[in-house]
Amino acid sequence: MKKISLFLMIAMVAGIFSCKPKEKKSDEAPLIEKQTIELKSDIMTPEVLWSFGRIGEPEISPDKKTILYGVTYYDLSQNKGNRELYTVGINGQGMKQVTKTRFSEQQAMWSPDGKKITFLSSESGSMQLWGMDPDGNNRKQITNVENGINGYKLSPDMKQLLYAAEVFPENQFKDLYAGLPKASGQIYNDLMYRHWDTWVQSYSHIFVAPFTGIITKGKDIMVNEPFESPLMPFGGMEQINWSPDSKTIAYTCRKKKGAEYAKSTNSDIYLYDLEKGNTLNISEGMMGYDIAPVFSPNGKKIAWQSMERDGYESDKNRLFVMDLSTKAKTDYTKNFDQNAESLAWSDDSKSIYFISDWQATDEIYRLDIENGNIAKMTEGIHNYTTVLPAGEFLVATKVSMSMPAEIYTLNAKTGKETQITTTNKDILDKLTFGKVTQRWIKTTDNKEMKTWIIYPPHFDSTKKYPTLLYCEGGPQSTVSQFWSYRWNFQMMAANGYIVVAPNRRGLPGFGSAWNEEISGDYGGQNMKDYLSAIDAVSKEPYVNKDKMGCVGASYGGFSVYWLAGNHNKRFKAFIAHDGMFNLESQYLETEEMWFVNWDLGGPYWDKNNKIAQRSFANSPHRFVQNWDTPILCIHGGLDYRIVATQGMQAFDAAILRGIPAELLYFPDENHWVLKPQNGILWQRTFFNWLDRWLK
């Protein structure tokens, strides 16, 4: 995302940033930083995968000469990671590490004259705002807000600080707890009492405070509103921005609560006037997700991402721009059948750069505001994940199935790229990755489906290899050129497997019609697409048709459970992670009701709803009588999107039917696996299971 430039007031900053560094405690654990890892071969292992440095949050200095970014390294023995800050010239020269602490500096930003860097750190115990010189010296705490802050942005004139922090409402049932200090029960009387991986006891509000001295408490611009900004569970500070004149805050909010909140995706863009204290909804009447507002540098316009339909979280992400003087709104993607995300204005306010997925790669596009033309700037087998204008250059991060994230610069006119960082080059140079190819496969309804094929390192076409069908989650998430630290295709290939990863029906990047064909059709055409992909590839002489497996997570886990009862003996092993097994229980167990209402068509008790009844008739648990293949079920105890009992039901059903099965349960993980040792255990269990049945 694009951060607004900041103007540094020298007198103020002199008081805020000067300090002495903390002394090291003798009993502290070793600092987590880049380690030298000895490879036993050129084949990647889970331990090697977790040794990569993870780049993120690039920021450009005001003079457009230096890039600030963070790198996270993990330590298996400590079972945690640590993030440090680095700077490098926009020409790729002069890379320097500017922090070396145990406190994971995050959300780092430049001051407008390039003389200071601000960031979040938990050094004082809770997450607070800190500052330092660009070389890492003169580290100083700026905020001391009770319970810490979640994010921040300094006003362009450097006079105000906005920050996001949790607000804890009064317990409406407090009288019932009188004299019961050890009572652990929690009372609820409405929905959204838990979300993603958290039991909801607070919500994030936006605060504003003068940027002077040590800031302990700001003004709540959402006071007495039981709503959140940014939005859970994935929203960040890209959803909140200052106007260039520092007089207005634009923020994203869904001003609903309880059951209404759980059933709706209708968020809006609000403008808060600091002088008047007024709040204006500029997207009123626009019924879907409206998020991530960003002002043009000249302050005349504001752009944001907008979905059209309420309740549909995977609707097309449109690019809307409002003229702040006339209030006229324009959809610049009306004739652009793709998503527009990560919006960033050019310095002259004449263009907007954004990222869009087309046919399973994420590319950079440029919108010309004057004529409405959209130009594709990049092309390749990769995913661009961020884009930031920097004068004649763009600064972007890029990944692929064969490379973790690195930072690049691109010519702002031609798109010609130059790699700037080489964080993991020392490891990558020692590894051999499998070849990644793309193949268009004909589906049962005579459509063309793009499918990625990933081959093992040192692939020999005269041999036969066990082969995996990868089922994507989402359900509407493209199988693009992503690099994952769990579902890593090169990791699967390194273990000797060919991977077949189809962009089946219901994925974006192939037009709206293709994307929407999955809604209300679980168990329908998209399942036929999966079988079309594996059947086509299995005809190759190097595929061992007697040693094929099927793996996936989330909707991919649902797909595995469904295929387990409908695969007609194609597969010899299944792995389902956080998958939906019983759709009737899923309907009332998940926290976001808009998802099941849209995707399943409605509640299972609505017998006159044909779409809903078709969905529930295709629930995987209805086909357990056909199960005949070993299955590994994986689930996290903190997953409230698809609760752990879904995986337990599937595991129990397999065991009761006499089918070989294992359950890998993580009590401290959510819909993902984030802790290093759990990540290694996941990989070991994953391949131990596959090797047992496919090798």
CA distance 601 to 595: 9
Q: In sequence order, what are the beta bridge partners of 635? A: 665
Using alpha carbons, select from 17, 53, 34 the residue that is nearest to residue 424: 53
CA distance 225 to 169: 10
Distance of CA 289 to the CA centre of its chain: 16
639 as an active site residue: the answer is yes
CA distance 509 to 378: 15
CB 187 within 8 A of CB 176: yes
CA geometry: angle 208, 320, 254, nearest 5 deg: 50
CB 193 within 8 A of CB 259: no
554 as an active site residue: the answer is yes
What is the per-residue DSSP string for 513-544? HHHHTTTT-TTSHHHHHHHHHHHHHTTSTTEE
94 phi, psi to nearest 5 deg: 75, 35
CA distance 240 to 227: 15
End-to-end CA distance of the chain: give it in Å, rounded.
45
> CA quadruple 7, 9, 12, 15: dihedral positive or negative?
positive
Packing angle between helix 593-600 and helix 610-617, nearest 10 degrees?
Answer: 100
Catalytic option among 121, 204, 554, 619: 554
CA distance 153 to 138: 20
Taking only Cα atoms into account, the Rg of the chain, rounded to an integer number of angstroms, comes to 26
CA distance 471 to 556: 5
Q: In Å, what is the CA distance from 524 to each residue of 445, 502, 619?
A: 12, 15, 11
Catalytic option among 577, 621, 635, 671: 671
Q: In Å, what is the CA distance from 591 to each residue of 232, 345, 469, 548, 601?
A: 12, 35, 30, 35, 16
**Cα-based torsion angle of the residue sequence 54, 3, 6, 300 in order, rounded to the nearest 10 degrees:** 170
CA geometry: angle 179, 185, 188, nearest 5 deg: 115
Kindly state the DSSP code that residue 159 receives in the 8-state scheme: S
Q: In sequence order, what are the beta bridge partners of 59? A: 68
Residue corresponding to tokens 């077949």:
500
306 as an active site residue: the answer is no
CB 250 within 8 A of CB 293: yes
174 phi, psi to nearest 5 deg: -60, -30
CA distance 95 to 90: 10
692 phi, psi to nearest 5 deg: -60, -35
- The tokens for 216 are 């302990």
CA distance 652 to 295: 53
Question: 474: buried, middle or exposed (CB in 10 Å: 19+, 13-18, 0-12)?
Answer: middle
Residue corresponding to tokens 């406190």:
103
Q: Report the DSSP pairing between strands 543-553 and 465-471.
A: parallel
Residues marked as catalytic: 554, 639, 671
